[in-house]
Structure 1
Amino acid sequence: MTDCLAPAKLNLFLHITGRRPDGYHALQSVFQLVGWGDTLHFARRDDGQIRLLTPLPDVDPETDLTVRAARLLQTYRGSHYGVDIVVEKRIPMGAGLGGGSSDAATTLLALNQLWELGESRETLQGLGLKLGADVPFFVYGRNAFAEGVGELLQPVQTPEAWFLIVTPPVHASTAEIFSSPHLTRSTKAITIADFPDASSGASAAEIYGFGWNDMQAAVEKQYAMVAEARVSLSAFAPARMSGSGASVFAAFASEHAAREAQAALQAQSSSASWFSIVAPGMANHPL
């Protein structure tokens, strides 16, 4: 059996620059990989069957992104192999951390090896886009400046950091937030040269303080607990929301500093229902 980490991601900023003719929103963001996430286990089958051995309660396994990714790759290549999939789920659903997309990308990358297909990363990115806008980033496999719906990617370098990620018990619907009257869609587009890349000597404060998340205000209007979590975390370091929420995060220079903040935050009575994790930033996907 092959064991693989499906890492979470953070949106260091998320600007919405308009709406495309096809109805999708035009985005600009920097995606940051995090050294924590779901763990997926794959066992190759010779009979062509694709089975998810850990289905979520009340969810048809055929709709799971890991199964859809496996079937998409199997059909694309006409492979006679199948797979048994076990998912150890850690990334909360509806948290803006890319859990389902990361699982799908890890499935594509792992099965490309397990089934001995030899497909290029670019081909897998194209297949991944059929599953979700964030999937190509996880297949791309390194921190990136993203445009389009998130599929146009250029590499960026971010400094070493430890992140405290806090997730209140809220499931923020991306579709719902994108239709919110509080969502702005007119942020001026930038270029990758505007982002303070670490390779040019930019400081951590410049990089992690760059820009904002255009979805944050809309989410906080609808889910007061997200605003409460962000404000509470901001007492220790500048904090913002990732993706369409509900997770908020802050960057720290060391694991010790992040864990100190986590302990102090957990001591607050208001945070009793919040999930939190301390994890390092990661430069490359494990696969």
Structure 2
Amino acid sequence: MNAQNAHADVFRTRVYAKVNLVLGVGPRDDLNGLHPICSWMHAIDVCDKIEIRKVPEQQESEYVVVWAQGDGSVVPVEWAIADDLGVRAHKVVEEYVGRQLAISLRVLKSIPAGGGLGGGSADAAGVLMGINELFSLKLGHQTLVKLAMKLGSDIPFFLDPGRSVPRPAIVEGFGDQITRLDSGHAGTLITLIMPAFGCHTGKVYRVFDAMVGSEHTLDKDRVVQLASQRLRDESALFNDLAKPACTVVPELNEVRDAFEKATGRVIHVSGSGSTLFVIGEIDPRLIKQACPNCSVVKTQLC
């Protein structure tokens, strides 16, 4: 987290989106209903901004979560504030320490929602680390991970102590087993293609369950091998949720096919969708031809 504390009562940071360069998914665990994964995750240079201020203890906490617009204005997010992952992270810490931690939280969002880029998870991680620092709670890393897992399995990836940006990692288990990698790919250009619709993660996993048979296994060795090859073969990248996502939202498959035909490139799905990505750049004319209504962001791995 790139924390910039101008005052002891204020915590400011930027939190970064991620892409799943590779994502393997195993069958649902019968005990907890979750799916084990093995994923090569990498932060990208698209970020939200978080500001947390202490307020008097007798005062109610205040939350403002808004979308940043290109003209400098903001608009409210389309979900209930109580459901926001950053807000829920604050509540989880209060519950853990057993006392009120009165704050004013402002989140200025630029990471698209519902796109598989982990914006809500990044916000939650930023809030967990920010409150821990702001109130000198001295919660250890493993405690923060346990609190994060109550909220979502992507959040532990973003908890990388002492780092302005989370290092790339092999993420295993239910998201709680993190093996950090070097950032040898930092600066690699990546183009994000964001359709004007999202993919519901729960629905994607339910279709995944229906599509895979009992013989399906989680191929961890393949994920680790691809991460060690340093993007030498872009076409070898894979995502076990790509086909289910394209089944849940057939328009995603149409957009993906259109881009592959227009560019001759392999177009990948990040996470459970709907964001697509390609390593490197795409000719803007081809983008307009393939999907006039898609938003496109040229960024880089970081």
In the alignment, is residue 116 of structure 1 matched against residue 136 of structure 2?
yes
Separation in 2, partners of 1:190, 1:218 = 20
Cα 1:5/1:57, change in 2 over 3 Å: closer
Given that residues 15 and 27 in structure 1 are in contact (C-alpha distance below 8 angstroms), is that contact kept between their aligned partners in structure 2? yes
SS in 2 for 1:137: helix
Output one character per residue of 1:75-127: Cα deviation in whole Å (capped at 9) or x when no partner: 32245532111111222221011111111111111121122222222211111
Q: Determine if the alignment matches structure 1 residue 238 to structure 2 residue 271.
A: no
Native 8 Å contact 1:50 1:70 kept in 2 = no
- Give the match's secondary structure for 2:27: strand
d(CA) in 2 for partners of 1:66, 1:203: 33
Q: Which residue pairs with 2:178 in the alignment?
A: 153
Whether the aligned pair in 2 keeps the contact of 1:172 and 1:219 (CA below 8 Å) is yes
How many equivalent residue pairs?
270
Please, what TM-score do these two structures have when normalized by structure 2? 0.80
CA shift, 1:133, in A, is 0.7
Q: What TM-score, normalized by structure 1, do the two folds share? A: 0.84
1:177 equivalent in structure 2: 204
Q: State how far apart, in whole Å, the 2-side matches of 1:46 and 1:262 are.
A: 53
Aligned residue type for 2:257 = V
Q: Provide the C-alpha distance between the structure 1 equivalents of 2:137 and 2:37, rounded to a whole number of angstroms.
A: 32
Which of 244, 251, 255 matches 1:218? 244
Deviation per residue, 1:37-81 (Å, 9 max, x gap): 221222222326322123645633222111110111123224553
Q: How does 1:127-166 map to 2 (within 5 A)?
A: 127-140=147-160, 141-157=166-182, 158-160=184-186, 161-166=188-193
Alignment-derived partner of residue 225 in structure 2: 195
Distance of aligned partners of 1:59 and 1:211 in 2 relative to their CA distance in 1, 3 Å threshold: closer
Contact 1:183 1:214 in 2 (8 A): no
Q: Which residue, 88, 97, 107 being the options, matches 1:68? A: 88
Identity %: 24
The one-letter code matched in structure 1 to 2:181 is V
Task: Please tell me whether residue 38 in structure 1 is matched to residue 48 in structure 2.
Answer: yes
Instruction: Provide closer, same or farther for how the CA distance between residues 19 and 193 of structure 1 changes in structure 2, counting only shifts above 3 A.
Output: closer
CA RMSD of aligned residues (A): 2.4
Which of 57, 62, 87 is 1:51 aligned to? 62
For 2:293 and 2:11, the matched residues in 1 are separated by 34
Partner of 1:68, secondary structure, is helix
Match of 1:81 among 101, 106, 110: 101
Q: Quote how far apart the aligned CAs of 1:156 are.
A: 2.2
**SS of the counterpart of 1:53?**
strand
